Chains A and B, each alone.
Chain A
Amino acid sequence: MEFNELEKKKILYKETTLCYQCGKCSSGCPLVEEMDMFPHIVIHLASLGLEEKVLNTDTIWICASCYACAVKCPNDIEIPGIMNQLKQMAVEKGLKPKRNEIYKFHKTFTGDILRRGKVHEFRIMLEYNLRLGKPFKNAMLGPKMLFKNKLHFTPPKEVKGFRKWLEKANRKG
């Protein structure tokens, strides 16, 4: 196991081990019926060091980071943050995300920010559909939005010096 991977496991363990399985996160989750594992079970398995068992669930991807669980948690565990760590672990391990359509959206959105420091919504919609291989997904939305001038064909200008700054700030070591 690489050092980096071990560090990540430690962080995950430290946060999840505070959980005493009250189940409030699962009972208050607005998306629980779409999940294949209850959020409190995900936390439980992670606290046992068995996070491998949850990396292939819908749950970690379906979580919309609404923070309903985090507000209810008596031990102040930032559950959406844990779900994010697990998403990132799954990707780093080279697993195909169980809900790939959600991962691809996050990836497209993030990639677009890196281009200029601001998002170009029109391009994100197009690129996302291409990546999914579903050119007509949300297609009825596009013309409606364009008609109301809510989507723009041309991207916003690059934030002055953004890419250069990010490269410097993001360097390792």
Chain B
Amino acid sequence: MDKDSIVLYPGCSLETSSSHYLQSLKTVFGVLDIPFRILDNWNCCGATSVKSIDEHLNLLLSFKNLALAENQGFRELVVPCASCYFRLLGAEYELNKDNKLCEDLNKKSDLPYKGKVKVRNILDFFVNVAGLDLISEHVKMPLKGLTIACYYGCLNTRVPVEKAFDVREYPKTMDNIVRTLGANVVDWSYKTDCCGASLFITVNSIAEKLVGKVLKDASLRKVDCVTVSCPMCQTNLDTKQSIIRKKYSIEHPIPVPFITQLMGLAFGCTPKELGLKKNFVPIESILEKSSVN
């Protein structure tokens, strides 16, 4: 892929509750010297809520984003949020499969779309487009001595099998990035377990139980942090961690950095450039351990 043609779809949470994800992503792209643009005039993907109660609206929202990308001259849409990725890829899949549906939407919405845009997950982008060699070249402060668990959550990988960029039930893309940064990665059967998503808001007790299981197992494996690439997972694992730790007798705090924050740390970026202050469980502890080793 031509690197000049990269367009990012940030999604709503990267502009507010997970702005540290977007900030660290931009910083990392800067270090790797990857020029990019943000999709002009993008709209919300609808997330799981719209899909749950209005299938047609769900399709329309993603159709518009895909059509915008195509009309703005891009062939690929790079998506950092797992939920947005899942929704956009779902629409790409559905519209490619059903030409009549695509034509119908073209006509009704006055927005031409030929189905030429490929939706790409950010992990897929880092490993298969930018490449691990490029990442490795920029590592100035290897994360030596750290043991890290990679948490993919659900929607990064549970796509139709022909669209999958990684093994759906035991993905390794993020593991490979973390290894390139110099850290140890644990083999982890919880890497694609569910964090509860919006149950975190609606039925707290259920989401807390799910997050508790994930964090408990991470702590038993004595990891220094759990890294993620999904804003929903990050929020659920990080925001109420002190309460959940107490409830499930988890002794030590477990930082939950975005993969881009870890990359930035290994590239020697400052905490400010990576928005580290926005994480609830402080990440500084892992920095100290890494610099000692």
A interface, CB within 8 angstroms of B: 30-31, 34, 62, 64-68, 70-71, 84-85, 87-88, 91, 99, 101-103, 105-107, 109-110, 113, 117-119, 121, 125, 128, 138, 141, 144-145, 148-152, 156, 159-160, 162, 165-166, 168-171
Contact = CB atoms under 8 A, between A and B. Distances in A.
Interface string B1-16: 0000000000011011
A165 B277 CA distance: 39
A155 to B, nearest CB: 10
B140 interface: no
A12 B218 CA distance: 40
A118 B52 contact: no
B169 A71 contact: yes
B149 interface: no
Contacts of A101: 202-203
A30 B213 CA distance: 11
B287 interface: no
A162 B43 contact: yes
A4 to B, nearest CB: 13
Contact of A121 (B12, B108, B194): B12
Interface string B22-43: 0000000000000000000111
A106 B201 contact: no
* Interface pairs A-B: 5 shortest CB-CB: A169-B109, A67-B158, A109-B49, A117-B43, A66-B154
A65 B52 contact: yes
Contacts of B130: none
Contacts, number: 143
B16 A91 contact: no
A118 B52 CA distance: 17
Nearest to A148: B278
B199 A64 contact: yes
Contacts of A99: 202-203
A158 to B, nearest CB: 10
B64 interface: yes
Interface stretch (B53-61, B95-103, B177-185, B257-265): B53-61
6 contacts: A64-B194, A67-B155, A101-B202, A145-B17, A162-B43, A169-B108
A66 B158 contact: yes
Nearest to A169: B109
Given A30-B194, A71-B169, A84-B53, 15 more contacts: A30-B210, A62-B203, A66-B158, A66-B197, A68-B154, A68-B192, A103-B53, A105-B198, A109-B49, A113-B46, A118-B15, A156-B15, A168-B108, A169-B64, A170-B60
B280 interface: yes
B201 A159 contact: no
B50 A113 contact: yes
A63 to B, nearest CB: 9
Nearest to A91: B53
B15 to A, nearest CB: 7
Contacts of A138: 201, 204
B41 A159 contact: yes
B277 A148 contact: yes
B41 A109 contact: no
Contacts of A152: 16
Nearest to A108: B49
Contact of A105 (B54, B57, B202): B202
Nearest to A114: B57
B84 to A, nearest CB: 12
B194 A66 contact: yes
B141 interface: no
Interface in B276-293: 277-278, 280
A165 B55 CA distance: 18
Task: Count chain B CB atoms within 10 A of each CB in A66, A162, A168 and give the residue with the most.
Answer: A66
Contacts of B239: 141, 144-145
Given A66-B154, A150-B19, A84 B44 contact: no
Contact of A34 (B110, B158, B206): B206
B222 interface: no
Contact of A117 (B44, B158, B197): B44
Contacts of A165: 64, 109, 111
B105 interface: yes
B202 A102 contact: yes
